[in-house]
Amino acid sequence: EQDVSEYKKSLAIRVSGFDASRPIKTFEDCGFSVELMKAIAKQAYEKPTPIQCQALPIVLSGRDAIGIAKTGSGKTASFVLPMIVHIMDQPELGKEEGPIGVVCAPTRELAHQIYLEAKKFAKAHGIRVSAVYGGVSKLDQFKELKAGCEIVVATPGRLIDMIKMKALTMLRATYLVLDEADRMFDLGFEPQIRSIVGQIRPDRQTLLFSATMPRKVEKLAREILTDPVRITVGEVG
Ligand code: ADP
Ligand code: MG
């Protein structure tokens, strides 16, 4: 059982008022800021991919979601763009410590890719992104995290190391993404994932992406997501 009282209650958990009842057709439909639209245009993303059309309105509405779609379908932007909106929606940005958005990925290569994608959109609003994964000096990562960030993209093991070293706390985190959940399980990260999830306030928004949904991943999803919308695009296992 988690003691919710220790969490900062003033944070906005849900981005309110977005119509999640039907898919969007264009990025204009998402009501993004001028700055974010410019960053999207810079990527030469003409229109949202099928998973983005389905996922963006649901995630923007604040609901938990499970996204199942094959590699290369554009899943990253479907959680990164709403994460920027979620962060901009927080009152008194910068007065608390620790990331608001936490993304876990199975490997350092994947974490680095997500980090790069997140940075492209985060800089539109001066949001700071930190990457945390093995193979990089712990001291350098510690210093970077101490300087502060709103988004952390991490592999589970190294993120736990950093939490133990008190480089960051999860007290401000309200938006959690588990990307490639099936691969994280294959790599044996289930205990680390559970430990990280257990440190984030239970009324967070949680998103889980996976190419496949084996029984163990289904079980975790049932335990850590609240009334999730399931989005499946294409033929996937
Ligand atoms: P996934 O996580 O589903 O494997 P990614 O999010 O990594 O896929 O996206 C795959 C590629 O497609 C990336 O190079 C990304 O920049 C690009 N991409 C994402 N969204 C769009 C879009 N709406 N239009 C064009 N390219 C896109
Ligand atoms: Mg991906």
pLDDT along the chain (237 residues), means of 10: 43 49 89 95 92 94 92 94 95 75 98 98 96 96 95 98 97 96 97 97 96 94 95 72
Which pLDDT score is estimated for 22?
A: 81
For residue 234, what pLDDT is reported? 77
Any idea which ligand is nearest the CA of 69?
A: 1
Cβ neighbours for 195, distance < 8 A, ≥ 6 positions apart: 160
Enumerate long-range contacts of 184-189, CB under 8 Å, 24 or more apart.
184/104, 184/105, 184/106, 184/156, 185/214, 185/216, 185/217, 185/220, 186/106, 187/106, 187/107, 189/104, 189/106, 189/155, 189/156, 189/157
- Quote the pLDDT of residue 95: 60
Atom of ligand 1 nearest to the CA of 78: 6
Question: pTM of the prediction?
Answer: 0.92
173-191 per-position pLDDT tens digit: 999 999 999 999 999 999 9
Ordered structural domains, the chain, with CATH: 16-233 (3.40.50.300)
**pLDDT computed for residue 97 by the predictor:** 83
Q: How many angstroms separate the alpha carbon of residue 210 from the centre of ligand 2? A: 9
Q: In this predicted structure, what is the pLDDT of residue 96?
A: 66
In angstroms, what is the span from residue 231 Cα to ligand 2's centroid? Answer: 15
Taking CA atoms only, the protein residue closest to ligand 1 atom 23 is 48
**Ligand 1 and 72: CB distance under 6 A:** yes
The reported pLDDT for the residue numbered 11 is: 46
The pLDDT of residue 71 is 86
β partners of residue 154 = 104, 132
